[in-house]
Amino acid sequence: MTIQMSVATRNAMLDAWETETGTAAIIKGRSGAAPATCATADSGTVGFSITCPSDWLSAAASGVKSKLGTWSDASADATTTIGHFRVYKSDGTTCTLQGTVTVTGGGGDLTLDSVSVTAAQVVTITGFTLTAPGA
């Protein structure tokens, strides 16, 4: 039998993750595949770094949270192809979540209008939705 969680439990889990990550979370897009876990050292070249607005995710509903507002880097860090992202606490080093990156409509955990980034270009995250397990 597959374990299932109530919607209220799933919502609480997602909201607790956002609270634990805190305001002014930082999202970094990096080249290559994500490390094995969030506890594993960073890998790949940082293509962009975005400090999220203080209210950066919707309140969880039906076991889902989505981005609020505009998440954008006015000047990309390096020329690279983005393959994964990591979400950090405001210290920029404590990873709380990581996942894949694709172009909009490509099915990644986070989406961009283009995964090919050129240094100093504007980079905007077009989509991010987090769904709790156990539905």
Q: 65-104 pLDDT, tens per residue?
A: 999 999 999 999 999 999 999 999 999 999 999 999 999 9
In Å, what is the CA distance from 120 to each residue of 28, 48, 74, 80, 128? 15, 9, 7, 12, 23
pTM reported for the whole predicted model:
0.94
Positive or negative torsion for Cα 75, 69, 135, 15: positive
- Predicted pLDDT of residue 3: 86
Query: What's the CA gap between 97 and 86, in Å, rounded?
Result: 6
Which portions of the chain are predicted below pLDDT 50? none
Beta strands at 64-66 and 46-51: parallel, antiparallel or unpaired: unpaired
